[in-house]
Amino acid sequence: MRKINEKLYSWASIIDEKALDQAEVTATMPFIDPHVALMPDAHPGMGATVGSVIPTVGAVMPAAVGVDIGCGMVAVRTQFTEEQLRSQRRSLAFLREQIERAVPLSPGRYNRKVWGGAPAFIAQLEELAGQESVAPEDFAKNWRLQLGSLGGGNHFIEVTADEQGTVWTFLHSGSRGVGNRIARRFIGAAQKLAQQKSRELPDRDLAYLTDADPQYAEYLSHLHWAQEFARLNRELMMDRVVDQVGRFMGQEVERLEEVNCHHNYTEIEEHFGQDVLVSRKGAIAAHVGVRGLIPGSMGAASYVVTGKGNEMSLCSAPHGAGREYSRTEARKTFTQEDLRRRMEGIEYRDLAAFIDEIPDAYKDIDVVMADAADLVSVDHVLHQLVNVKGQ
């Protein structure tokens, strides 16, 4: 841990000046209490640094939560071994293709109909919408069809194996288009309010809503709904992935262990003796005994962890490797052949569209985990067998 100033502490041994400058600016906001915590994977984001934990009192900054509300990970430990998986008559390419058929991939692609376990999850979300006075149709009329879809970018589905050769299913996604539109509407509302009330901002993406603003409670209600959508979205996709693994193995999957955690969200928590609104933008909760998931980049290891409850970090930990190259820079720097070398031995779709997800575009996950040693303990290290992504 490095103390940057009274309002900013960092656990990142690898961090560029832009990300650090951005975090220092965020930490100057008058409602930050006690301090901003920068995670080992910190890198520049919209307004606030990705990989930052931001505690606020009486205010919230929608852009500091991010546009993929509730984005996170879910993993399931199965009874199968890597050896058993590889010994099947059909190839891992077949398993990948079946998963790709079961889960809609890529931005703008959703289910054609509501099916499987979706109706029960939709009923839960409809009930929550009523309780929170949220009308998701105002943001996306097809939100029900979005449930159970992956998206693109760094979202993924994986079949992995741990250090003992046990097979896990693992995926990363969030609140899809409906969450994105909710986020953007309230980011815009905060910026408009800043103009109307002449609020001085060091960055317009740090525009905020105070508990005296009518939009404050409205935003938190929508935030809560979108976070639940994201959690159930992962649950539904995982059901479909587990089903495909079971079909591939000719035996129903036993869910021996399951972890589901957000890394873009806001929650009321107690820290240093007071209740604060903690926004984790690219960070997971790491309270004592709380399980979490920290993925590496495409082709790199991922980790199943348990929190240590480090209070200075606001009981938080990194959410992944963290980018070192922007997507544009990565495409200029690396080639499809570079990606093929890094993905050797892993079943994946060999597309140039994935060059910007090459592990070299990210921080070394081993360094990130070393920086996080006082934040979490490592339970399992997972290596990829099958990788599924949307374009």
Q: Output Rg (C-alpha) for the chain, integer angstroms.
A: 20
The beta strands (E) that lie in 162-245 are given as: 166-173, 209-210
Residues 180 and 132: their CA atoms lie apart, in Å, by 18
Residues 183 and 189: their CA atoms lie apart, in Å, by 10
Which candidate, 178, 102, 184, places its Cα nearest to that of 140?
178
Q: Is the dihedral of CA 73, 77, 78, 84 positive or negative?
A: positive
The first and second tokens of residue 3, run together, are: 């103390």
Q: Which of 224, 319, 380, 383 is catalytic?
A: 319
Cβ neighbours of residue 173 closer than 8 Å, sequence gap 6 or more: 71, 72, 149, 150, 151, 155, 230, 233, 234, 237
For 341-351, letters b (16+ CB in 10 Å) and e give ebbeebbbbee
Q: Are 118 and 130 in contact (CB under 8 A)?
A: no
Active site residue 224: no
| Residue that is written with structure tokens 């889960």 in the block | 103
Q: Are 48 and 18 in contact (CB under 8 A)?
A: no
Residues 11 and 272: their CA atoms lie apart, in Å, by 19
Q: Are 62 and 220 in contact (CB under 8 A)?
A: no
Residues 133 and 294: their CA atoms lie apart, in Å, by 33
Q: Are 205 and 63 in contact (CB under 8 A)?
A: yes
Which residues form the catalytic set?
A: 319
